[in-house]
Amino acid sequence: MRDNNSDLRVIRTKESIRDALVELIDEKGFEAITVKDITTRAKINRGTFYAHYQDKYDLMTKFEEEIMFEMSRIAKQNFPGVIAALGTNSPTLAPFSLAVSLFEYLNENNGFMKAVLGPKGDLSFQTRLKDFMWKTIYGNDVNAIIKEENLLVPGQYLISYIASAHIGVIQQWLNSGMKESPQEMARILSTITVNGPLFAAGLKK
Amino acid sequence: MRDNNSDLRVIRTKESIRDALVELIDEKGFEAITVKDITTRAKINRGTFYAHYQDKYDLMTKFEEEIMFEMSRIAKQNFPGVIAALGTNSPTLAPFSLAVSLFEYLNENNGFMKAVLGPKGDLSFQTRLKDFMWKTIYGNDVNAIIKEENLLVPGQYLISYIASAHIGVIQQWLNSGMKESPQEMARILSTITVNGPLFAAGLKK
DNA sequence: ATAATAAACAACAGGTTGTTCGTTATTATA
DNA sequence: TATAATAACGAACAACCTGTTGTTTATTAT
């Protein structure tokens, strides 16, 4: 058999397409991009694009899925420790190291992440990223820690609050030049989440 | 003069266009919509559309600006009280009534809001909404209350956190059928923001 | 009643989209 | 290294959407 994806021409082509995509999202926004834009920038024939992807959405989805898969892997790796820590009196250590790992991954893929999470990015990715956080929070035996009867607000809103807040901070970090280290970002997020926004603002003791 | 926008034909046409737009965003998402879709649904000639708007983005922008203007009006109206309350020991009363007013407004315009803030909506509107919250928080003499030296985290991340969190909760509310009252939603948001997510989850006393 | 003008209708060039040819160039492998 | 497989190319296609324009019809304000 010879139908593998190891043909150098395929690898080269796909890489050119991805590079072109990231550049173009930054320049004109994902939705304004045409397949012709991509192939012109990637210096390949338009027909070649359609040999690999159905359309620009298919391309984007496949790209995003790889990113999500990797983030999921990192999360799964660190989650047992997080669950264990949440029950204790110092619920910041394990979540902190998970956050650091994720920020390091974002840092490595900052070209794509900045483009896709930016103001000209892809709304569906942000939606999927929130879904991912939902499932990560809800699906991982958190029920063992967080009991419905202890919640002061409906669970769905609490999760939406936390997930959106975290993504918002990530976006701000990416768009303002990633000047803080992954460690510092993890500290910022856990400070606000553990103590609350008002405390972090110095308005509450 | 007769160049006013009071001609019944104009009013009828613009209303048809807006109704069609909201319907179509819900069905196929803003970006997938063509001008032809809109005019077919609105039962008007395509040329008529171009007599009023440059393209679908122009239509969307004008629609959104009216919404933003109204939200800004509501915010400005309630802000003096919010500023005053933040300094006191009960910093929830005035912000609470502002939140109620805003949720009531969202409720009135739920067709548009649900469409535009939903997963098939308009990313640029969400970006503009965050900018609006930024300016509302930063620009309104908050400096008199929030002092940079008291912040435990950089101000830009704190604001991004709060703004994104609030929008996320609003989205969740709109997409899950708006079953809670504006009052209840205001309570939920202030509970999490004042006491912090971990406290609201029952994980902290 | 009538002048003003919004909306409809029709046609236009220019652009993008998928798709399909035959041809050329590159690759994997024996 | 020779060769069979196949990726990529170039060109062409109908179908569709976009703005725009000129003409005609219908509605509106006064």
- Structural domain boundaries of chain B? 8-52, 58-200
> Digits of tens for pLDDT over chain A (205 positions)?
445 677 899 999 999 999 999 999 999 999 999 999 999 999 999 999 999 999 999 999 999 999 999 999 999 888 888 777 766 766 567 788 999 999 999 999 999 999 999 999 999 999 999 999 988 877 766 666 777 888 999 999 999 999 999 999 999 999 999 999 999 999 999 999 999 999 999 887 6
pLDDT for residue B91: 59
User: Which residue of chain A comes nearest to B184, CA vs CA?
Assistant: A153
Q: Measured between CB atoms, which of B163, B167, B193 is closest to A196?
A: B193
pLDDT for residue B2: 46
Pick among 1.10.4160, 1.10.3470, 3.40.50, 1.10.357: CATH of A56-200? 1.10.357
User: Which residue of chain B comes nearest to A196, CA vs CA?
Assistant: B196
What are the C-alpha distances in Å from A106 to residues A30, A60, A67, A99, A171? 19, 17, 9, 10, 11
Mutate to test the interface with A, among B55, B57, B146, B157 (most CBs of A within 10 A): B157
| Radius of gyration of the CA atoms of chain B, in A | 20
B178-202 pLDDT per residue, tens: 999 999 999 999 999 999 999 999 8
Total residue count of chain B as it appears in this document: 205
Domain spanning A8-52, CATH class = mainly alpha
Query: Judging by beta carbons within 10 Å of its beta carbon (0-12, 13-18, 19+), is residue A101 exposed, middle or buried?
Result: middle
Residue of least CA–C1' distance to D8: A48
pLDDT for residue B1: 40
> Which stretches within A43-154 are classed as H helix?
46-52, 56-86, 93-108, 110-117, 123-139
Report CB contact under 8 Å: B199, A152: yes
**3-state class of B43 per DSSP?**
coil
Instruction: Give A117 CA → D10 C1' in Å.
Output: 37
Tell me which of B34 and A134 has the higher pLDDT: B34
Mutate to test the interface with B, among A142, A198, A199, A205 (most CBs of B within 10 A): A198
pLDDT for residue A142: 65
Q: Cα distance from B149 to chain A (closest Cα, Å)? A: 9
Q: Shortest CA distance to B39 belongs to which of B55, B26, B28, B61? A: B55
Instruction: Give B48 CA → D29 C1' in Å.
Output: 20
Residue range B10-27: average pLDDT? Answer: 96
